[in-house]
Every structure is written in C-alpha cells, then in structure tokens.
Structure 1
C-alpha cells in the first residue's frame, strides 16, 4: 500500500492509494468528508460533492434497472458537461465501464467504435442531435439514424425517472483490476484500437505528486471525453477534494479559455503541446493566475517553455509524457527556472507507482546515455486492447524485471536516452506513429483511409514540421482520372476525425516505387507549400480582403492565398482558427465567434461577414496603425473607439457545444 500527501491544506485525512480499490470508492470518501465543497463548476454554477454523489447514485440505480450489470460497457455520447461527469460516475458505481463516443467524430468512425465496443446502451442528451455537423460543432445524424445499434438513453428525457431513484450508496461490485473505461486510439490498419483501462490506472494517476492538488484547487476541464487528457482533468480533482471547471464550448477561443480560468479560479491546467504553443504565442496573459501548468502530448518548443518560465514566475511548469496504454502520464519533468531555450525539454522521471525500462531490441537494459525503446510498467498499465488478443500480446509483454508474476510492461515504441541522474530524453519513434495536435496518429491508418476514397489508386503520407514546431500530414495520392484535392479532404472528413485528415493533398499520376514495388517515400516530391494549390492573390482586393490575405499568409506559412481558397484546404486547423480570431480582434477591434470562422472559410466570405458587422465594431481602428483596416468612416476616432469597446464588452464569443 502506498500513501500520497497531495493535500496542501495540511489536513490529516491523507488518502491511501490501494491498488485493489475503485475510482468511485475514493470519490465516495471525499464526498463524505467534504459534502458541501464544490466538485464541478460550469457556466457560473457549482455542483457540490454531496450533490454529485447523490445524482450519480441515482443514475447508477437507473442503469441497473435498465439491465446494466458489472462488466458491461456503456457508450457515452456527451460533450463536456456536469451531466457527463454524473454519467461517468454512475456507470462506474453500477460496476460497468464507459466508452466515450466523441461528438466531433464523423458517423463512420463512430459506427466502427460502437460496433467494436458493443455498448449495452449509449447515454446521451437531446441537444446532442440538434445540429448539423460542421468542423465546429454538431453531428451528421439524428436519433432516427444513429451509427450504433444499442439503445440510446437520453438523460434529459429520463430526468424525472432518474430523480425518483434512491440517492443512497450502492454495494461495491468491482475492484481495482476491473475495467473502468475503453478509449480508442489510432491503429495501423485503419482500424482504431480500444485501450482497456482499469480502475487502478486512474487512481494511480490521481494519487501522484507530479501535481499538487488539494481542496482549494480548481482544475480546468478542456479535453474531449474521448481524449485521455480528460482522465487527469476529471479524476485527479475529484479524488483529491478539488474542483474541476468545465469549458463548455466545443472549440473554445483563447478568450473563452481565459474566461474559464478567470471565472472558475482555475489553479491547474493541462494543455497539449500545440495548444500550449498557440496560447503562449497569442495570449499568454490568460495563464497568469495559474499555479500549475502541465503541457505535453508532443515535443515542447524550448522557446515557448522559456517564455512561460519568464512570464509566469509563480507557475510550476511540467512536461507531461505518456501513452493512453499507461493511463495518461508515465513520466513528468518539472522544468527548472534556469531551463535553457537551447536544449530540448526532457520527459523526466517515472511518476509514482510506475516503472520504466530502456531496452534494446533483445529486451535487455541499455546503459545510461545509449538510445533504447521505452517500456512502461506498474499500476498504470492497461489491460490490453479490446478484442485484439494478438496485438495485446505484441504490445503488452511479461515484465521480467519486477519479480512479481503476472505483471506486464507496455512497449511504447518511443526511443529515449536515460541520463546518469535518471532523467529521460525523448529521441524519436521506432515506427511511423506521430502526434498531430496532441493526438496519436498512425500514418499507416491515414494511408488506409485514403485508399478507400473514390478515384484514389494508391496513397502515401509524409509529415512535415511547421515553423511553429507543430506537424502536418501531407498526402500523396495517385489517380488516373481528374481528381480535386478539396474533394479528397471533404471525403476524408466523412471518414475520420480531424487529426487524421491530411493538411495538404498532392495528386500524382503514379507514386514512385522501389525496385521491389514498394512506395519509395524518399522519392516523393517535396511539398513546397499551399501556394501550389492556391491562385495568386488578386490585385483588386478591398482593404479588408487585403488585410485578411496578409493574416492568412502568416498563419498558414504561404506567400500566396486566393480570395476564394478554403482556409482548411490550405492546411488550417482548429488552433489556427483560434489564432485567426485573435488577429481579427487586433486589426478590426471586434470579437468574431469561432462558429463564424468555421462558417466563413474563404477570404471573400469572411471579409463580407466583417463588413456586415456593425461598422463601429468592425472598423474602430483606421488610424490605430498603418496595417489596421477601417471599414467605415466615422468622423471621430474617440467615438469609434468608445462605441467599439462598448459593443465588444457586450458581445460574448459563444461556440456551440
């Protein structure tokens, strides 16, 4: 039995980590000790620990009355919300496990996950089916045409029936080694694989010292439920007596993230490397109230790390590393104040209840300073892949080093070097797996999806690094007929989540081949940038269009942008949209909702939208600087500024959830 001392307030009720216990058993203890303390903060409201305990008990009993039994899998088609937290806890208390179904995923992808997980029931809410799918929000189907065959339970429709259930505690029916959730990650064959995570993996994550959480802390909940960062964001606060503050917007802007931090009193946040870089570049001031910041999921830019250490002297900055198969975090590294921007950030040392080994191809330990593959072991290791015994046997190997029979170690595929002092540096991959915006992508899966598209004879993909350090997928497709790259992108969006969709498409008559007939990746033509697919900027652009063209060129790293070229077809991504929103605010002095930027995706349409906004909001700054554009001709600069500020303060940026 291990002990953690995460409470900062000095209380003696230090929770004991016991590998045999469940997530909800620890939560019940916290709710008993601090019933009136806020557990969930959302939209200006608070849900206390006692309320969350009672509501999740009622939901667990309701599920049981519907036939849910220990070991069953329950699908969750929900966005970030208090209802999602209640549903998760209720599922666990019923002895079942949950499988998140991301509302942002296309129907085909959801259909595969649902058919693989075979949920007994799918929990959702009526509002989840009220929108047409777009890159910003909603889904592509209705309750009459769902991509799963299991019954759908709408929590709001059953609200009265759930409330009639007893709020008393349920008998424990599962243990720490039992399944808590199934989370899907990219697979090499075009088939996502479901990682089976037990209760002990989550409790081991929560009772750890890589962050310091107590009753006075608030953790930002920003990650989608189907992304394993949410495991930390939800359960670390709830098992330590802290609160979690939910960001409701599906694709929040920097302003909305900042508002959630400020209004929720957030002390701790976790960002993917790409979001971390974007916030540091465009709005670092929203982080000033944080006490702890974890960034990871990919290699951190040393320059951005240095900026945060300089700008936020009160904030502890941690580089977090780990695969889903070892429950979110495996190693962490506290970045020191004297960190050099000339050096890469290490991934650090293993967190508590975790063992790591650096091994050669024969599974023998390598000396310090030599490169080897990282293997993770301990209480965080998953149970394997759902319905994939061969792959499980390949990736989850018997641990020969711990001396306990039955223990497994997970082959991460990451190449590392261990320093003499035990700190570990990431050096690369043994395969073609990459991280795109913090999410794991198997390039073989992307190629398999491309080959399913009409008119595509064969496909190969490469990855290039942008100047900001983030990665983009470049797709090379062969076709013997006329094929539109924009149509390829639209087809891919119908098949796969955004992070699996290439940023750029290059159409070739034939792919280069090696003498043995395999694709010769080294001979693929160099991608020279989006200008190859975009018409030259016209010379007769109006002032707004010309300013937007300059902004797009900088964001998308291309010299030439066509007025009718689609932002996403030029390689733009959600984080670029957030940056675009900030650029528009700086130049036109108006807040444009994220939903509008996903709707008006060409320079021409976006300029027209800006023109249609109230002139005082869109055109404040003709004289503010030489590159700020006036869209009206108000007589008084002071009047323009005052009116714009007044309107901007009233206009809240809201993205549909």
Structure 2
C-alpha cells in the first residue's frame, strides 16, 4: 500500500513526456559526443523492441553490464520501456560474482554496453546494445508504479549479498517531490558513480525526469585532476560525490566548488573539516548530506549543511526526513525513545523497496508493520543504524548495531568478508576486523591455515576472483590461533595489535636527502602511507593493501611533489613499486640522478 502523495509514477512514462517536450535538448554526453532527448527516447524504443524479440517479457530482469555512458543510459531506459527491470553489474567485479548476481536476480539475459564484456560464460544469453536494429515498431507501454525498476545487491549477514527490488514509484517520488536533492532542468549533472551503486540513481534519473543534462565521467579510470577539470566545466552545475572523494577534492582542488549550484554527499560519514571549509569558502553552494539505505529507495533524510549547528553536533547530521519518508528512533522494545537518546532508526513511508528478491523470510524480518502509520498495510524498514534526535529535530548518525561497515562507500557485512576468505580451500577459519575512522575504514583479515604454507598475498588474489575488492580485506595475516577474551570470544583488539606488532610503521623518509635514494624513499613513503604496506618485490599497489581511491591519492601526491602527471590506467596496471619509480625517476633533480 502507498500513501496518496503525488509523483508516484513509472520512470519511463515521465521520461517519455520530457523527451517529447524537449526532443532537441542534450540529454547525455560522454567522451564520444552528445545524445539528445529525442535520440535517447528513440534508441530506448528500438532497444525495447529488440529485448522483446530476444524473449524478454514485462517483469523480467535484464542484467546490465556497463558503466555510465550514452549507450548504457539508453540501455537502462530501453529495459524499462520493455516493461522489464535492470540489474546493474559492475564490469570491474570478478566473473564469479557477476555469474552469481545474474543467477540470483533471475536475469533473462546479460546486456553489454560499449566495450564491456565478461571474460567467461554467464549462464544466460549475452546481447550487445550495438546489436540493436533501429526503426522497430514501438513497444506498447506496460507495468505500473509498483513494478520493479531495478535490483541492486547489498552485503548480507549470512555471507551472501542480498538482492533488493526497488519500485518505479519510490524513485519518481524521491526525485520529483520538493526536496533539496531535486535536480533543476537547467542543471548539468556529473555521472561518475558505478551503476551498481545507488548514487547513480541520483545522477541519472534525477536528471532525465526533469529534462536536465548528464555528463558522464570515465568513472574508476579518472584521476583526481581529471575529475576536477570536469567539475570546473561551465556545463557542470551539480554532482553527487562520495565523502572520501569530496574530501580529496576539497583538499586538492577547492576552487572547483565555486562554479557549482549543488553538491550532494552520501554513502558514508561526511568529513567535518572539509565540509566546514567548503561552507565557509563557498557560501552560495547548496551542500547536502544525504542518508538512506538501498532498501529505502536511495535517500531517506537530508541535511542542508548551511543549517548545521556545530554547537549541538560535532559531526554533520544526516538531517530530517524527505517527503514521503517517516523516520522513527526506537528502543529495543520498538517504542520511541526521547529526543537526544540513542536508538535504532526505522524508516517508513511510501518509498520503501519491495523487499529482498525470493527471500520472504528475510524481507519479513527487516520490513515490519508500521504501528505508527494510519495507512493500511504501511511498513517500516529496520536500518540497523544508531541515531539520536538533536534539539533542532535533525538526526545524528552514531554508528551501526551490527557487523556492517562502509568500505569506500559500499555496505560490507564483516560476515560476508569472512565467508569469502573461509571459502578458500587452504583456509580453515577467518576473522575480519574493520579499522580506521569512519569514511576511511579498511578491513584486515586474520586466517588460520587449513594447509601448510598458506600465502596471504595468493589468498587475497584468489579471493579477488570470487568477490569485489571492497569485500576482500586489504590486509591479510596468517595466524596459528585466535586470542580470546574472558568470555571465550575472539579478542579483535588483540588481533589488531598483533597486526600492528608484525607491521610496524616505518619512519618517514627525509625529503631533505638530496639524492636519488632520498627521493625514492619519499616515493616509497607515499606508497606505504596510502597502500598500508611498504613496497615489496613482485607486489603491486593492491597487493600491498591499496585501493582505487588510494591510488588516486598516490597519483595526486606524485603530481604535487614531483610534477609528474601519471595516467590512472597505466598506474593501475603496474606490477610493482619499481615500475612506478621508473616513471617518476626522470623528474628527480638532475644532480640527484648523477
């Protein structure tokens, strides 16, 4: 059941109206050119007809193997016009995870955009957007606002990701009702998030539903400098950034925010230092902190940073409910707690997900009857997040009630990470611990070997073949036994201390050492700081514990300190520190190389 609030409609229905009214306006741009609304709608119609010819029926799932681009966005819309729903698959994920997601979603086929194509068979027919024949007969509209628009996967406490089915109406209601998040028709929206991350919903559908223009960045292959240059383009007026990326941009390219109308942050804790700086230096920017799980259709609350009162909250609040969302702070007895008292956040309203695909038991345990609503059949979602209500009425995020953490913006349940490691035939048992401050967390895995000679680096590499890199611990330590506390449970603090003991922090290199060895030591120090481990023979940045975001930081530091502009793709493919050193060494002062 849904409330009677407006804008609860199908996405493709509304985009069709926008395209009819603005056929010549640019809808999507990427490095290859522009696509008008008229061309987008025509292409989506052709694809819808082809999908029907390929056996896709209304209500079917279509796995979409793509990153943001003109072709990918045409494919997304075409799937909806066909009455089906899309399941976004990140092409950077290992084939084993992709195959599992395709099967778990029940996808009828795998649709590939641009040059993306899996290396192995996915168990369903594979089709390319480029194979679509233009000029096909139009497909009759079908479906309702309650129909599924997309299915995305979130980390699960059982070790298996959970496929969440989201309705059309939840998205149109979120993006078209009055809200600080609403995109304006005159906006140029940056699209840089992976399609498998629901930030992409804010980037793409918020724009197409109102007739704004989308500018696609190159996603994971874009350096920080490249991204800053794109944001500085006059056609870009709005962007949704992860808190970690936002912080990097503020620290290195603060001026890019001066030309923007709106910047939204979400998916993790917003950094207070950088937020304060931007609020001070760019008072005309509409800076927003948004919060919401996938199960509540992307966003449930927002805080306009201009309203943040630092005297009542040291951290940026997650704000107040968006239109159509109802937020309850409840105690263990599921009764409301007093303002200021910590409790668990439950989200109700008419914008909840349908539930977990093919898992009615899990759906019933997380989507409960809403006793506080007068709407028949109303539900509320149990988020697992701890919050408190501030005197202003805004909500402050306090952490989790379970073993779930945010790693580079992704929800990761530590159990899932442990299951990935323990699934290796050479591992007897695994424990995973999250370390670091919110917004900069990483995972350390502690494994007991099931066979002699277990190699941590080889285990990490094998795990990358089964799961996305944000699920696999950045650092892995092989241990004989686990330390335990008085109750017999594993002492995770002792495990972290054991890691620190075996991996002491190396002293900082002295940049004043004016010779090649000194400059190389500075570069090695940057590597160690950003990867977590010092350079080692035969180990690339990722095998030393690094991440894509860390690599972006490394590229930026090399540019700042040595004046060398490195290409992300080239650095990503480097097999060792020595290869990086070879690229940077020519920039050392001539006398240092003498």
Q: TM-score range by the shorter chain?
A: over 0.9
Could you tell me which runs of 5 or more consecutive residues in structure 1 were left unpaired when the two chains were aligned.
4-15, 130-138, 623-628, 634-657
Q: Deviations 1:418-450 (Å, cap 9, x if unpaired)? A: 124321111111101000111100001111111
Q: Deviations 1:282-321 (Å, cap 9, x if unpaired)? A: 3333333211111121111211111221232321111111
Equivalent residue number for residue 279 of structure 2: 309
Equivalent residue number for residue 576 of structure 1: 550
Q: How does 1:155-174 map to 2 (within 5 A)?
A: 155-156=129-130, 158-159=131-132, 161=133, 163-166=134-137, 168=138, 170-174=139-143
State the alpha-carbon separation in 1 of the partners of residues 528 and 94 from structure 2: 29
Report the CA distance between 1:487 and its aligned residue. Answer: 1.4
Q: How does 1:168-567 map to 2 (within 5 A)?
A: 168=138, 170-208=139-177, 209-263=179-233, 265-336=235-306, 340=310, 343-466=314-437, 469-479=439-449, 481-513=452-484, 518-526=489-497, 529=500, 532=503, 542=517, 544-556=519-531, 561-562=535-536, 566-567=540-541
Indicate the RMSD between aligned Cα atoms, in angstroms: 2.7
Q: Deviations 1:194-241 (Å, cap 9, x if unpaired)? A: 000000111012114123422210111111111111011100011011
Provide the secondary structure at the position in 2 that maps to 1:495.
Answer: coil
Q: Does the 8 Å CA contact 1:258/1:287 hold for their aligned counterparts?
A: no
Provide the secondary structure at the position in 1 that maps to 2:427.
Answer: coil
State the alpha-carbon separation in 2 of the partners of residues 575 and 258 from structure 1: 15
Provide the secondary structure at the position in 2 that maps to 1:56.
Answer: helix
Residues 234/285 of structure 1: CA separation in 2 closer, same or farther (3 Å cut)? same
- Which TM-score applies when normalising by structure 1? 0.84
State the alpha-carbon separation in 2 of the partners of residues 307 and 527 from structure 1: 37
Report the CA distance between 1:86 and its aligned residue. Answer: 0.7
Provide the secondary structure at the position in 2 that maps to 1:524.
Answer: helix
State the alpha-carbon separation in 2 of the partners of residues 70 and 355 from structure 1: 31
Aligned residues: 586
Equivalent residue number for residue 152 of structure 1: 126
Q: Does the 8 Å CA contact 1:346/1:426 hold for their aligned counterparts?
A: yes
State the alpha-carbon separation in 2 of the partners of residues 233 and 431 from structure 1: 30
- Which TM-score applies when normalising by structure 2? 0.92
State the alpha-carbon separation in 1 of the partners of residues 278 and 536 from structure 2: 36
Report the CA distance between 1:80 and its aligned residue. Answer: 1.5
Q: 2:571 is matched with which residue: 597, 611, 625?
A: 597
Report the CA distance between 1:564 and its aligned residue. Answer: 5.9
Provide the secondary structure at the position in 1 that maps to 2:239.
Answer: strand
Q: Does the 8 Å CA contact 2:220/2:548 hold for their aligned counterparts?
A: no
Could you tell me which runs of 5 or more consecutive residues in structure 2 were left unpaired when the two chains were aligned.
none
> Does 40-49 or 520-529 show the bigger shift?
520-529
Q: Does the 8 Å CA contact 1:302/1:340 hold for their aligned counterparts?
A: no
Residues 469/42 of structure 1: CA separation in 2 closer, same or farther (3 Å cut)? closer
Q: Does the 8 Å CA contact 2:537/2:576 hold for their aligned counterparts?
A: yes
Q: Does the 8 Å CA contact 2:228/2:249 hold for their aligned counterparts?
A: no
State the alpha-carbon separation in 1 of the partners of residues 108 and 74 from structure 2: 18
The reply to whether residue 42 of structure 1 matches residue 17 of structure 2 is no
State the alpha-carbon separation in 2 of the partners of residues 421 and 35 from structure 1: 45
Q: Deviations 1:478-506 (Å, cap 9, x if unpaired)? A: 12622222112112211111111112112
Provide the secondary structure at the position in 2 that maps to 1:500.
Answer: coil
Report the CA distance between 1:516 and its aligned residue. Answer: 7.1
State the alpha-carbon separation in 2 of the partners of residues 524 and 318 from structure 1: 38
Report the CA distance between 1:193 and its aligned residue. Answer: 0.8
State the alpha-carbon separation in 2 of the partners of residues 489 and 52 from structure 1: 42
